[in-house]
A and B are shown apart, each in its own frame.
Chain A
Amino acid sequence: MRQVQPRRNYLGIGGWVWAGNYKLERYLYILHRVTGLGILLFLLAHLTMTTIFRIQGQDIWEATMSILHNPWFKIGEYLVVVALIYHSLNGLRLIIQELGFLLGKPTPPIYPYQDSLRKKRPWTMAMIGIILVLCLVFFYDFIAGGW
């Protein structure tokens, strides 16, 4: 008799970049991880700058700052701000949902079934909207402040 093989839904390490059959939330999770690691790298560079270069006095500090005012560093800085905005708002969504809010009332499993994804999706879209608005606000300030 032919055995029916269950479809494997285990993505392994490939699941770090590819969501397979999962939907939007899985990509938000991947982005959460990528931005988290990016912010960690920035944090180490930032702490190096604000400790080792700061404690050596005015000349070293000003020399460091003149390097960091390079437009490429400014673009990098903006990307860090975007990563921070994304990571904090998506993190807030995860905390709120982990505590059981915004998931809708539980319903009995009677056809047509209602999954929680459909109930929380509008909140997820609202979060993405807020992220985009905040990114634009910071973009405006980066442009207004001069590169």
Chain B
Amino acid sequence: MRNTYLWFIQLVTGILIAVLAGIHTVWMHLDAILGFFGVDVGEVTAWQSMIERSRETMWASLYIALLVVVLYHALNGLRNIILELTPSARIGRIVTWTIAAFGIIVFIWSVYVPISLLTK
């Protein structure tokens, strides 16, 4: 039953990533086409442009939301692939908890940076 819930969350996070990472990727890469539609994103990787986005709560919230769903989706996907090799229940548990701990550490560190940059 637990795996059913984990899989259901995998589907929901998948849809959320398609939307959020879609916005992120289009904004970061489609500068020429966005320019054609009158949206000037400027030099997105320049320090000034990056730090201006970092100060906006809207962008910071979008990145943090994306981080949450992406980390879950990616690490749960990795766990599914590893567990498909049908290790013993004990190794399965070790894999699950190692991946969960890794995800939590990456999440805490990666959420600290955009929050601290809000006031920079």
Contacts and interface: CB of A to CB of B under 8 A. Distances in A.
Contacts, number: 70
A81 interface: yes
A144 interface: yes
State the majority secondary structure of interface residues on B. helix
A-side interface size class: 20 to 34
A77 B21 CA distance: 14
B-side interface size class: 20 to 34
B65 interface: no
B87 interface: no
B106 interface: yes
Interface in B69-117: 70, 74, 77-78, 81, 85, 106, 109-110, 113, 116-117
A144 B47 contact: no
Interface of B: 11, 14-15, 17-18, 21-22, 25, 29-33, 45-47, 50, 67, 70, 74, 77-78, 81, 85, 106, 109-110, 113, 116-117
